[in-house]
Amino acid sequence: MKIFNSIKEMQVFSLSSKRDGKKVAVVPTMGFLHEGHMSLIDIAKKEADIVVVTIFVNPTQFGPNEDFSRYPRDFERDSRLCHERGTDAIFAPEASEMYPTGASTWITEDSLSKGLCGKSRPLHFRGVTTVVAKLFNAVLPDLAVFGQKDAQQLAVIKRMVRDLNFPVKIIAGPIVREADGLAMSSRNKYLSPDERKNALSISSALREAGKKIFGDSAGLRDFVSSKISSNGGRVDYVEVVDAETLEPDCNFERPLLIAVAAYFGTTRLIDNTII
Ligand code: PAF
User: Structure pTM?
Assistant: 0.97
Same-domain check for residues 70 and 205: no
CA dihedral angle for residue 77, residue 80, residue 84, residue 86, rounded to 10 degrees: 110
Label the pairing between strands 234-242 and 169-173: unpaired
Annotated catalytic, 37?
A: yes
Ligand 1 center from residue 77 Cα (angstroms): 18
Residue 178 included in any domain: no
Active-site pick, 34, 37, 83, 124: 37
Mean pLDDT, the chain, integer: 96
How many structural domains are present in the chain? 2
- Give the SS3 label for residue 265: coil
Residue nearest to atom 8 of ligand 1 (CA): 29
Same-domain check for residues 35 and 161: yes
- Any residues with Cβ below 6 Å from ligand 1, and which? 28-30, 58, 61, 128, 131-132, 150, 153
What pLDDT sits at residue 213? Answer: 83
> In this structure, how many other beta carbons lie within 10 angstroms of the beta carbon of residue 173?
21
Residue nearest to atom 9 of ligand 1 (CA): 128
Same-domain check for residues 114 and 232: no
What pLDDT sits at residue 212? Answer: 87
Domain final position from 173, 207, 230 = 173
Residues 6+ away with beta carbon under 8 Å from 99: 59, 60
Band (pLDDT 50/70/90 cuts) for residue 249 is low
Percentage of residues of the chain with pLDDT beyond 70: 99
What pLDDT sits at residue 250? Answer: 64
Same-domain check for residues 108 and 208: no
What stretches of the chain show up as alpha helix (H) in DSSP?
7-19, 35-47, 75-84, 95-98, 117-120, 124-139, 151-163, 193-211, 217-229
